[in-house]
């Protein structure tokens, strides 16, 4: 497989139309490689095709055409092996309310054919922070605890690949930090992580590489660092020692915004203007500076730039 956890070639999925509606093509020939051992972000707006792609990987949706390779196994040739190589933490809280966390993990392990002697129920309960709730009914667990249990169920068969589908949607800060600590621990052990999220700051902090899907097409795939570097704009923010009155003579290509807290934000293209040019202009204008900082572009800027482009507009 050449070091790839996932290999997709020409992957398409078309859903049949209902009640006179035309068929909907959810995926339009996706070619994508996800390296082994990476934390890989799969991003896109609602309806982009992310959930369809994940459900195909999990064996829950049948593709229309193309090839899916999971940990070296062709999904069509070796469906059981490919399914065993991947665990999915779904976005929906699909838990049986009458099972305890211990019971849920044991049943899930049984469904995957894990022998009792090889089950890691206690280890997983400790990892997800539910050891003290091991014998409580799932219906008595908080929403955050139920989400932890979903993670545990995805790990019972010790998969090489873990898919996290919007794992922190609606959860509190403490649970979010615990989840990411667990994800980093699993990744250090060699597990490949595939993350879908609408919290782009999380993807920026966690992911080595990112693919952005829109309208069923792969727009771009690159390292997180290179994606952010596509945005040329930076912002120099200063806090003047005294309120600014009037306009300032600024270098060409620099735009100034006055913020509500009194700070001044100077937007510039980093390939054309240097921060020192702006500071020199301020000194020449007699502006005394109390504080200064630079705001770098973020993944959100790249995401919006790509998904709002005219060629990809809805």
> What is the model's pLDDT at position 81?
95
Residues 135 and 82 in one domain: yes
Cα 235 from chain centre: 26
Residues 147 and 257 in one domain: no
188-235: pLDDT as tens digits: 999 999 999 989 999 999 999 999 999 999 999 999 999 999 998 999
Decide if pLDDT at 311 tops 60: no
- Tell me what percent of the residues of the chain surpass a pLDDT of 90: 72
Look at the pTM and tell me if it is higher than 0.75.
yes
What DSSP designation does 166 have? S
Residues 90 and 214 in one domain: yes
Residues 291 and 186 in one domain: no
> What is the model's pLDDT at position 144?
84
More confidently predicted of 226 and 313: 226
Residue 32 to residue 17: CA distance in whole angstroms: 27
- The per-type count for the chain, helices as H runs and strands as E runs, is 10, 14
Residue 181 to residue 174: CA distance in whole angstroms: 11
Tell which residue, 218, 180, 215, 185, has the closest CA to residue 197: 180
In a domain, 304, yes or no: no
Residues 240 and 210 in one domain: no
274: domain CATH number is 3.30.70
> What is the model's pLDDT at position 310?
57
77-125: pLDDT as tens digits: 999 999 999 999 998 888 888 899 999 999 999 999 999 999 999 999 9
What DSSP designation does 28 have? E
Mean pLDDT, the chain, rounded, equals 91
In a domain, 291, yes or no: yes
In terms of residue numbers, what domain contains 240? 232-296
In a domain, 302, yes or no: no
Lowest mean per-residue pLDDT among 63-67, 171-175, 220-224? 171-175
Residues 49 and 187 in one domain: yes
Mean pLDDT for 72-80 is 95
């Amino acid at each position: 497989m050449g070091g790839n956890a996932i290999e997709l070639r020409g992957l398409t999925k078309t859903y049949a139309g209902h009640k006179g509606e035309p068929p909907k093509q959810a995926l339009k020939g996706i070619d994508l490689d996800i390296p082994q051992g990476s934390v890989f972000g799969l991003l896109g707006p609602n309806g982009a095709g992310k959930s369809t792609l994940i459900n195909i990987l999990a064996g829950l949706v049948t593709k229309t055409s193309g090839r899916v390779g999971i940990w070296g196994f062709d999904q069509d040739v070796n469906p059981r092996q490919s399914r065993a190589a991947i665990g999915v933490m779904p976005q929906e809280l699909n838990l049986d309310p009458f099972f305890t966390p211990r019971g849920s993990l044991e049943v899930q392990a049984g469904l995957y054919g894990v022998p009792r002697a090889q089950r890691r129920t206690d280890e997983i309960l400790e990892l997800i922070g539910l050891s003290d709730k091991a014998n409580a009914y799932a219906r008595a667990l908080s929403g955050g605890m139920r989400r932890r249990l979903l993670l545990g169920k995805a790990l019972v068969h010790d998969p090489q690949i873990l898919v996290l589908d919007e794992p922190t949607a609606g959860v509190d800060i403490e649970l979010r930090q615990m989840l990411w600590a667990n994800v980093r621990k699993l990744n250090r052990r060699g597990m490949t992580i595939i993350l879908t999220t609408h919290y782009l700051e999380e993807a920026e902090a966690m992911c080595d590489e990112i693919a952005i899907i829109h309208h069923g097409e792969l727009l771009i795939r690159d390292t997180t660092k290179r994606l952010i570097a596509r945005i040329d704009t930076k912002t120099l923010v200063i806090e003047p020692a005294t309120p600014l009155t009037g306009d300032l003579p600024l270098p060409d290509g620099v735009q100034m915004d006055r913020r509500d807290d009194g700070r001044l934000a100077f937007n510039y293209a980093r390939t054309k203007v240097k921060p020192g040019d702006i500071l020199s202009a301020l000194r020449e204008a007699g502006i005394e500076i109390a504080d200064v900082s630079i705001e770098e572009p973020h993944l959100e800027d790249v995401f919006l730039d790509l998904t709002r482009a005219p060629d990809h507009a809805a």
